[in-house]
Amino acid sequence: MSQEQSQAEYALDKWYNTLLNKDRTELDITDLCRMIQQKIFIEVAVDKGVEVLKRNPLAGDVYDGQLVEVLFSVDMEKITEQREPLKEVLLDVRNNVEIDHFMSVEDFIGYHDLVKKLLTKIDSYQT
């Protein structure tokens, strides 16, 4: 294992240990994105992510829209109670986020396409 890999693993371990000591209300966008990417506490991350998207549809840790992007990676079978609230907030985002929130037309189109794909993914798992 390279030194770079071990440092990355150490950083994740360190973050995970601090995460365990946080209350749900203390979770920030960095925590949410990492939780989803690391596939840990997915239900909590999606619940909190829905709240964050209601306030800021373009929320992200590193770039605008990152939260929606990582949410797309979630296995819909792992979240049952969160699907409908997530769908509702995404429908609201799709209908209310305007082009002037973005740096370019391409960014706006890419974001809307991602929201549309995530809505389709959610709908395909509705029971």
Position 68 in a domain:
yes
| In-domain check, residue 5 | no
- Does some domain include residue 16? no
Asked whether residue 88 is assigned to any structural domain, the reply reads: yes
Q: Please report whether residue 21 resides in a domain.
A: no
Give domain status of residue 44, yes or no: yes
- 66 vs 120: CA distance, rounded Å: 18
- C-beta neighbour count of 112 within 10 angstroms: 15
Residues 6 or more apart whose CB falls under 8 angstroms from that of 68 comprise: 53, 57, 90, 93, 111, 114, 115, 118
User: Does 54 map to a domain?
Assistant: yes
Give the residue numbers spanning the domain of 90.
Answer: 28-124
Number of domains in the chain: 1
pLDDT tens column, 93-110: 999 999 888 889 999 999
The structure's pTM equals: 0.87
What is the DSSP code string of 69-80? HHHHTS-GGG-S
Residue 46 maps to a domain: yes
- pLDDT (tens digit, 9 = 90+) per residue, 5-58? 666 677 888 888 899 999 999 999 999 999 999 999 999 999 999 999 999 999
